[in-house]
Structure 1
Amino acid sequence: MPLLLAALTMVIAGASLLGLRQASRAANGPAAVQVRGGPRYGLSTVGLSYPFAAAIAKGFSDAAARAGASAVVLDAKGDVQKQANDIDDLLAQKVAGIAIMPLDSIVAQGWVRRANAQRVPIAAVAALVGDPKSRAIDDVYPGLVALASQDEVAAGRAAGELARRLLPADRPARIAIIEGAAGFPEVEQRARGFRQALDAAGTRYTIVAAQPGNWTSEGGEAACQNILSARPDVDLFYNEADDMVIGCARAVRAAGSGARLIGVGGSKLAIASIKAGAVDGTVCFKPEALGALAFEALAGNTASSSRFRTYPIPAVTRDTVANCVGQW
């Protein structure tokens, strides 16, 4: 199911559960985490064994603790039916509010209606509710108190602004894009924002190749190897996820290429690679902030009047990488 797979690997992806796309799944993650004390709020997560999702859960639980509340975090383990059951469990427990990281954005519409019928506030985090092909990220589904997520087009623009500074100015630049995987809305959204930034700056460039890296390090390495064999003159690889940029860096080094490398996500490994000079830059995501934003919306925090809640996602290089602390 494309929608299920898209949510599972988003952000980025993101998804976006972009972080899920960028992370490797560990075995046997915990099924539930409860922090005791105060009013109880639930989080239905796609899978605590995914580092990005686990970071969102940490941000949610930490925000609850700061507010004198408790968090009940249920792990769907990548199973839509289990996630549906988890939401039923949270409603039966009469929690004060529920945040969902939906595995299936279409199926999640029914969960929102169910919570609304019981007058339980419900928010989405890291992935929108509704058809992602026709719904803009900031078009929050009716019945949700909020959606806390990244703006994937804005992430692409940040990557494009970074690329502009790295490209040669004396001739049209040759760019290759390492995409996520076919069918995921973040692939088009991040590419669109990337082009928007270059075009707005009047940058002269040509996209000489675009191949899927399937959100993994191995996929990114293979895609970059293939492109370099046909186009060894590539000036820059835009990788739509940090895991892919790590693999692409291996291919670039092996080929003796001088191509510049940028990613998206702000993973710990990407941050370390930027500090080491193996990668030129990335776009900084903060999954813990998403968890906190979702809790604050459920708890009635009115610091933001918008139902779409997000945070700055700057591009960082070796000079500014200290501004991005990897959270996954």
Structure 2
Amino acid sequence: MAQRNRYWLLCLMQIMLICAPLNAQAEKKIGVLLFSEEARYHESLKGIREQLAKAGYKEPNVRFVVGNAGGSKAKAADMVRNYASADYALMITLGTNATIAVAKEIKDVPIVFSMVYDPVEARVAKGWQSSGTNVTGTSPMIHITELLSRLREIRPVKRIAALYTPGEKNSESQLKELQRVQSRYGIKVLPVIISKKEDVEQILPEVMGSVDAVYFSGSSVIGSTIPPIVELAARAGVISFTHLEDLVAEGVLFGLCADPYQLGLLAGKKAVAVLRGTKPSSIPIEYIARPGVVINRKTAAASKVQIPKALLQKAAKIYN
């Protein structure tokens, strides 16, 4: 009888050991902060959650508390204070401004981000190989020289209007990159500040008459005013281009873009590693090495721009 009791006790202990990770996982709470409603953030979050689900981190075992700052830095700061006062196993952030806000306030919870263009320039990480802090994640960064080379395949340009918003670190970083290579490519980059929607109508009509191309940075202000800017550019026969796929989907003529969903899957793998005990600082921050050409044919036709057949054949996605 004693031997039988010991046998059943051992069985019970084995069952408890197997179930223990599930019970622990059921107690996990993950905070999620998107900076705005822009499509790339939702696509990236979709990839993150799919990767977490594959590893067993999904509802109802895990509770996701999702917040959206609606493009407001002030609202993001308020929301972060609420996150900081609760008990989270992990914070997930989408966008540079959301990540800056969370990393500034929360130091004792691991943070995994996606869609942060230059985390070092934004001062959320000390380096790409190691953040040196409690963060890791993925970036939509591309080689700006490759973007300009693809632009040349469509048409040689001399003057580029770079639309950016001061105070948005990602937008400022992208402007700096363009300015750094302008002499090598024999182009003149004209910084154009778009701080509010009204600037589009007040500033851009004159700008479009003096440039060959217009670059859309990752500013949330610019992202909320795509159709009128694209219409002005098309009317002037100006090529619009970017590094963000969702902006091409909304009307920008072409882009060299990292797929936000794929960036999300990559960030999701990092999130799984963190939840399993790996320190964020030991997980390198990554970007996609081979971004794809994305083209909006409708805008090309409206702009009377002929896309070379060779570039069309290279395209990862074409929006009609």
- Relative to the length of structure 2, the TM-score reads 0.64
**Structure 1 counterpart of 2:53:** 65
1:173-252 residue pairs with structure 2 within 5 A? 173-196=157-180, 199-200=183-184, 203-207=185-189, 209-214=190-195, 219-220=199-200, 222-229=202-209, 231=210, 234-241=211-218, 243=223, 246-252=227-233
| Deviation readout 1:100-123 (Å, 9 max, x if unpaired) | 3463626624412x22xxxxx442
* Residue of structure 2 in register with 1:296 after alignment: 269
Of 83, 88, 91, the residue aligned with 1:86 is: 83
Q: Is the CA contact 1:45–1:57 (under 8 Å) kept in the aligned structure 2?
A: no
CA distance, structure 2, for counterparts of residue 321 and residue 65 of structure 1: 33
Q: Distance in 2 between matches of 1:65 and 1:48?
A: 24
Distance across 1 between alignment mates of 2:241 and 2:83: 38
1:126 alignment counterpart: 115
Q: Per the alignment, in what secondary structure is the counterpart of residue 273 of structure 2?
A: coil
Is 1:260–2:239 an aligned residue pair? yes
Kindly provide the amino acid, as one letter, of the partner of residue 161 in structure 1.
S
Deviation at 1:166, TM superposition (A): 3.1
Taking structure 1 as the reference length, the TM-score comes to 0.63
Q: Which residues of structure 1 form unaligned runs of 5+?
A: 1-36, 116-120
Counterpart amino acid of residue 113 in structure 2: A
Whose helix proportion is higher, 1 or 2? 2
Gaps (5+ residues) in structure 2? 1-23, 70-74, 298-311
Identity over the aligned pairs, expressed in percent? 13
| Structural mapping, 1:1-328, within 5 Å | 40=28, 42-46=30-34, 49-70=37-58, 72-78=63-69, 79=75, 80-91=77-88, 95=89, 97-101=90-94, 103=98, 105=100, 108-112=103-107, 114-115=108-109, 121-127=110-116, 132=122, 138=128, 140-144=130-134, 146-151=136-141, 154=142, 156-168=144-156, 173-196=157-180, 199-200=183-184, 203-207=185-189, 209-214=190-195, 219-220=199-200, 222-229=202-209, 231=210, 234-241=211-218, 243=223, 246-254=227-235, 257-267=236-246, 270-271=248-249, 273=251, 279=253, 281-300=254-273, 307-312=284-289, 313-317=291-295, 319=312, 323-324=316-317
Contact 1:43 1:57 in 2 (8 A): no
CA distance in 1, matches of 2:154, 2:112: 39
Deviation at 1:266, TM superposition (A): 0.5
Once residues 161 and 268 of structure 2 are traced to their aligned partners in structure 1, the CA distance between those partners, rounded to angstroms, is 35
- What CA RMSD, in Å, does the superposition of the two structures yield over aligned residues? 3.9
- The C-alpha deviation readout for 1:45-68, integer Å capped at 9, x for no partner, is 135744333223222211112222
Count of matched residue positions in the alignment of Structure 1 and Structure 2 = 259
